[in-house]
Structure 1
């Protein structure tokens, strides 16, 4: 009988050096390594440096240590790589945490994280020294990105540098067994930041109908009672925000369930460390109708800071019969960026808020709340900011360092370093001096924490964009990238799609290479090469930019394009300018044209009586989407000729039948999905690919995005939606950067020294 020999146990002492890269600073990684090494009876050290975390371990069977740091890492850590080098043993007898080393940064700081369960417990425990303290935090939660000016992530590089730790906090800070070991923002009531007003005063003022500005993690919020019509109406008037929806904050997921019909995926997002605003189906009658007029969904966010929790607990004591719900909107005058500075708050918010509550911990990098929704069964961004920035997108390969300046709408900035692309927090529209200053501030901060030497600047093709001026200001070679190519390139970059890729860029507006307004484009992309393979049938654009604000203009234009301007009479009853515009078309007026799907949405929303004039961007399309119940396709509702997708048959059907409300919304969305899928299938066949990248602002429409993705799968294609960055202009900077790098590397490979791209 054969003997089975057991594998010999490794008995030789060995020493390994482990280089850990990723989000491994400020997340409790060193104390985790310390405890793990002691558990495994290993000697050596761990320290932070410019590349991440450096570890040396010595002892028996050290290989299992490397496996454990991947499988047991702290929840906020993100490990990208662990490089291992064998060293000669030195005979060390203990394991130590050493001081950080300076140097050029190749690591990164983590995103801000919502208060963890342990800190929540301490916040409400009368026996804890953190009881009732609105700034309690540990290595598993609290501010990171918003308080850090440079790396390595140490207290001296944060806005906590001016707060000297008391003996108790200092003891926690140096104790590897403590949850607050090297938690850089650690503080308590004895030594840390404080609010300018007691929480009880905030709660009482809100209960009385006041508007309160409260400084939080990434900036100020404006709060008011979400069930108080008068308070919300006053906030809208003061903030110059007529109808655009507000987000609503609640204490916990139990309170959220009372206001919305939540799926498991939505609950997961709401309770995640990032704690974004999540768009969910509202339960009717639970909140003021002024929160989100004309929409069926609301943006919900769960309290994520200790100050929020204390405020909700106090409100619950004042009104114990109904869980409190607060409008929680970015604190800024209409059109301006988020306020984050105490003095700035007094200057810019005094005409809006009845009470301004500050604290004395500076916000280094202001950041709005992120906004997300579930699309086609998975999370998708509407706005990417606090909780996610500056987590990078892995581009799959090293390349030159570039800075991409995005567009003038929903602006973000993107900086690449090595194989990673770092998107800034949401900046917003660049239509005032404050916003332009914020864009510069965001770009400067991002470059500072990444410590990169930039080689190229990348911008939009539109010569009049303010974002282009910023790109030109760096004194670097500037490369323009067409807007809709950038939308498609962003999707291809995050999914690391191999060539070729068919892209559908379904959007509002972007300057095309022919000088016209694009927005419904089929692009064939192969590496750094691309071409426009098709578009939506162009419609007249009467009034230029005014047409985007006044959908009735697009309604008349669509009827003119369908040779039935006489049907504009129905619109004339609702808007006095219709007859005049129709008469001008009858006299042969010529206007610019656009292939924009966003403008097609506006046209049909106007023809269907949904919205003639918009008070905020995308209002007509959002209200039209809210009416959808069961999308259905109109047979013969579209035509495809030489790559041009034409929905004039659908427009005529809706206008001639006088269809409105849910019937019109169902028919339009269903026919649109079928037409786009048919169009993409023919384009993919011509290109010889199954990969279809879906980008552009119209992909924020959940009915369209989900339905189109499903229809493409039924055609045997592989649809890819944006997941790591927004589908709208908030993701354009990533696409600009990714495409420009491909062009640069291709040109360098061919020997060209000063590449340009378009």
Structure 2
């Protein structure tokens, strides 16, 4: 039988995941000859052999890919026979059209973990053990094709033993780019807060570090995507000291358990939550505390959930015994980006950390931990970062290259390339200068890594966002996208919806084209345009941004509107019992409309309710009042209170002031705060359903998309979904990106891209 030859081009996540070794061994199994190489698009193969051998090779190439590989396209075409005498892995081919996908960072695989803990293995307790199935990827790559010289491992020359593994097709480390060992690879050191090497009789720095933690010390630990701050999660005093030094008054800390079994001693873990905890991405998973919960109270004060993750680097495995649980929070001061560069980490963190566990492999690109909650038995992102980035969101249409710069808070940006959208790792709040500088650097790096030269820049409509101002400096055509339209478009992009849909965009603040602050929006939208079909009635925000930080300002104006001057006699209302200083000036300014913008934001409803019920008068982090209102509602069955819906100027208007009046009246009748918090949630869900049904009836649209940071409130989200589902509407939630502003750039990108097609 005559031999045939085929040329194969594969795209997807096929570099840095052991794909070439897989192809090599597959070719040896079928006896075909030729070569395999990385190129700037993915993996390229040329093979020749019998028809039967080639058919078997192609079938297994499709069905038996390495565990971390994601094949997007596999194109096969006939080519000329060249008379190859063997099969080889050839040098990578670089060209200007770089379309290969970069793998996210991957948790330590079971094989490497076994070697790490095996005293007979040459990599016993070596904290940089990895293979083609695990280890750092995105955070150490500075260019593609993915070869060692394009990573921060380029300065470490492999010893003969490591080189032999790297060159041996039968070895698990065949062409594993970060391959190293104690002889030739990076190493950890323990430093004091002045940056001096800690002198100890103990050679193993991880044993030294564990002793410091046992003594109540705070450690800054260099990992894959940056530094963590770690402390014993059972040590009440140490956790309190970390909270004080980090200037993080109330926001919960994440913890890392040494084993799945340890996490189950503290939390309830479902099958899906276990799957996420043990996945290659190893995100922080928000778990319900169990009856045996015994960690320090100040880790997640007053919260029934705690963010839990499992070790994802060899260093974590060496640091944590199976029964250990440590606080493992981002290495930064509040509001700053996570520290990742060795030259500034001591100066940035020495007011917090007592010791520094550092290593000499550079981190090229920082990446915070991802945060996920299981909602209706599926992952629901609160933050999408390490372990998932730079994995793409696949789109329906090929779009022109777009840079979408995101919002102001919880910023991520997005780049489109063909039929894929690439969201960045979590950047943070751009109001902080170091965060903004990190943002600009990350955009430049991602454009280089993906070889994307944008034709258009998409930004938020808000003229004062730093991201918007950055967009105006790029020198390209700029498309300003309304904030809530972007939220809804992000859901549509995930689910490949053409629209129109009814979009429920609920958040705190987004700039409206009418000059007011939107945030409780019922939109009829597709990828190109939207119509505001309904919204929440406006509330005044006396002091503007100050009213967001001090929710009592909103509540005091509501009380004045409900009761007039007599509101100060309503002593059953907790806010009235302890009126904040300056309340008279706040009311006067609001009545004169001095620095008092109007807002339709649902987030401001939560703020006002929390303040009225005495739960939270000022906040220490974004969304705190809403979170505490949701916590207060736990365990109580909510009732539907009276609210108002009317049509004004062709838009449905939801008036929630009757609800506040009912809450005040119930307080005067002695109702429990927890019950009223539950009533608030149930009423808002019922009113949302009511508004949606009116718009659906008028338009005939039965596809509903939910987005915005308010839908991180799982109590509200669950009730809205259950109520709408009873009416046989088709509901769509975020599943690949967060509902908060961390997913905003995806919506901006597809709107600008569709408009430019």
TM-score by length of 1: 0.93
Q: Which position in structure 2 is the counterpart of 1:649? A: 658
| From 185, 189, 198, the counterpart of 2:182 | 189
Report what 2:607 is aligned to. Answer: 602
**Do 1:638 and 1:671's aligned partners in 2 also have CA atoms closer than 8 Å?**
no
Match of 1:639 among 641, 645, 656: 645
User: Secondary structure, in 3 states, of the residue corresponding to 2:556?
Assistant: helix
Return the match for 1:716 from 722, 728, 732.
728
Q: Distance in 1 between matches of 2:516 and 2:590?
A: 23
Which of 612, 616, 619 is equivalent to 2:621? 616
Instruction: Check conservation: 2:394, 2:494, Cα contact below 8 A.
Output: yes
Q: Distance in 1 between matches of 2:664 and 2:589?
A: 18
Cα distance between partner residues in 2 of 1:599 and 1:359: 45
CA shift in 2, pair 1:592/1:563, >3 Å: farther
Pick aligned residue for 1:30 from 20, 23, 28: 20
1 CA distance for matches of 2:646 and 2:505?
17
Report deviation, 1:480.
1.0
Contact between 1:47 and 1:97, CA under 8 Å: does it hold in 2? yes
Aligned partner of 1:550 in structure 2 is: 550
2:164 equivalent in structure 1: 171
Residue of structure 2 in register with 1:150 after alignment:
143
Q: Is the 8 A contact 2:641 2:659 kept in 1?
A: no
Does 1:306 find its partner at 2:314?
yes
Q: Note the C-alpha offset of 1:368.
A: 0.5
Determine the C-alpha separation between the residues in 2 that align with 1:78 and 1:65. Answer: 18
- Decide which moves more: 478-487 or 138-147: 478-487
State the shift of 1:535 in Å: 0.5
- Give the 3-state SS of the residue equivalent to 1:200 in structure 2: helix
Classify the secondary structure of the residue corresponding to 1:298.
Answer: strand
* Displacement of 1:554: 2.1
Residues 13, 69 of structure 2: 8 Å contact kept: yes
Query: Retained in 2: the 8 A contact 1:138–1:183?
Result: yes
2:301 corresponds, among 293, 305, 308, to 293
Rounded Cα–Cα distance in structure 1 between residues aligned with 2:149 and 2:565: 68
Name 2:210's counterpart in structure 1: 203
Matches within 5 A, 1:266-415: 266-283=273-290, 285-313=293-321, 323-415=323-415
Q: What is the rounded CA distance, in whole Å, between the counterparts of 1:109 and 1:468 in structure 2?
A: 28
Provide closer, same or farther for how the CA distance between residues 621 and 166 of structure 1 changes in structure 2, counting only shifts above 3 A.
same
- Unaligned residue ranges in structure 2 (runs of 5+): 191-204
2:75 and 2:17 map into 1 onto residues whose CA distance is 20
SS at match of 1:222: strand
Partner residue in 1 for 2:579: 575
- CA distance in structure 2 between the aligned counterparts of 1:726 and 1:464, rounded to whole angstroms: 23
1-structure distance, mates of 2:4, 2:359 = 51
Q: 2:152 touches 2:362 (CA, 8 Å); kept in 1?
A: yes
SS in 1 for 2:687: helix
Q: 1:463 to 1:74 in 2, by over 3 A?
A: same
- Paired residue for 1:736? 748
Q: CA, structure 1 residues 713+640, in 2 after alignment: closer, same or farther (shift >3 Å)?
A: farther
Aligned partner of 1:629 in structure 2 is: 635
Which of 235, 256, 259 aligns to 1:252? It is: 259
Counterparts of 2:567 and 2:389, CA distance in 1? 49
Q: Map Cα deviations across residues 247-279 of structure 1 (whole Å, 9 max, x no partner).
A: 011111111101101111111111110000011
Quote the Cα distance in structure 2 between the aligned partners of 1:70 and 1:387: 24
Moved more, 388-397 or 63-72: 63-72
| C-alpha deviation, 1:225, in angstroms | 1.0
1:99 matched to 2:91: yes
Offset of 1:87 from its aligned partner? 2.3
2:704 aligned with 1:699? no
Please, which moves more after superposition, 544-553 or 573-582? 573-582
Aligned to 1:196, the other structure's residue is in SS state: strand
Shifted more, 630-639 versus 213-222: the winner is 630-639
The 1:460/1:12 distance shift into structure 2, 3 A limit, reads same
SS in 2 for 1:21: strand
- Between the aligned partners of 1:205 and 1:422, the Cα distance in structure 2 is 41
Matched, 1:498 2:477: no
Distance 2:240 2:99 in 1: 49
Compare 681-690 and 669-678 and name the one that shifted more: 681-690
Q: Residue 243 of structure 1 is aligned with which of 245, 250, 262?
A: 250
How many aligned positions are there? 727
State the alpha-carbon separation in 1 of the partners of residues 188 and 341 from structure 2. Answer: 14
Q: Give the CA deviation at 1:532.
A: 1.2
- Determine helix, strand or coil for the equivalent of 1:458: strand
Cα distance in 2, alignment partners of residues 137 and 561 from structure 1: 64
CA contact (8 A) 1:633 1:674 kept: no
What is the 5 A alignment of 1:466-615? 466-560=466-560, 562=562, 566-567=566-567, 569=570, 570=573, 571-577=575-581, 580=584, 584=588, 591-615=596-620
Q: What whole-Å deviation, never above 9, does each CA across 1:547-598 have from its counterpart, x for those lacking one?
A: 1111212222333455667456421213324852685389666632110000
Deviations 1:33-85 (A, max 9, x none): 11122222222221110110111222233234333223211111111111111
Following superposition, the deviation at residue 666 of structure 1 comes to 1.7
Maintained 8 Å contact 2:527/2:750: no
Name the CA shift for 1:116/1:645 in 2 (closer, same or farther; >3 Å): same
CA distance in 2 between counterparts of 1:586 and 1:404 reads 36
In 1, Cα distance between equivalents of 2:91 and 2:442: 29
After TM superposition, where is structure 1 displaced by more than 4 Å over at least 4 residues in a row? 560-568, 585-590
Please say if residues 502 and 687 of structure 1, whose CA atoms lie closer than 8 Å, have aligned partners that are also in contact: no
Contact preservation (8 Å) 2:643, 2:654: no
Q: Partner of 1:418: helix, strand, or coil?
A: strand
In the TM superposition, residue 608 of structure 1 has moved relative to its aligned partner by 1.9
The structure-2 alpha-carbon separation of the partners of 1:69 and 1:677, relative to structure 1 and needing over 3 Å to count, comes to farther
Asked whether the 8 Å contact 2:117–2:125 carries over to 1, the reply is: yes
What is the CA–CA distance in structure 2 between the aligned matches of 1:582 and 1:462, rounded to whole Å? 26
CA distance in 1, matches of 2:464, 2:754: 25
The answer (yes or no) to whether the contact 1:567–1:656 under 8 Å persists in 2 is no
* Pair 650,578 (structure 1): closer, same or farther in 2 beyond 3 Å: farther
Aligned partners of 1:575 and 1:442: how far apart in 2? 45
Aligned-residue RMSD, C-alpha: 1.8
Partners of 1:685 and 1:80 lie apart in 2 by 40
Contact 1:506 1:699 in 2 (8 A): yes
Contact between 2:15 and 2:38, CA under 8 Å: does it hold in 1? Answer: yes
SS at match of 1:55: strand
Offset at residue 630 of structure 1 (A) = 4.7
1:447 aligns with 2:447: yes
The answer to whether residue 162 in structure 2 is matched with residue 162 in structure 1 is no
**Among 73, 79, 84, which residue is 2:76 paired with?**
84
Alpha-carbon distance in 1 for matches of 2:63, 2:369 = 30
Shift of 1:733: 0.9
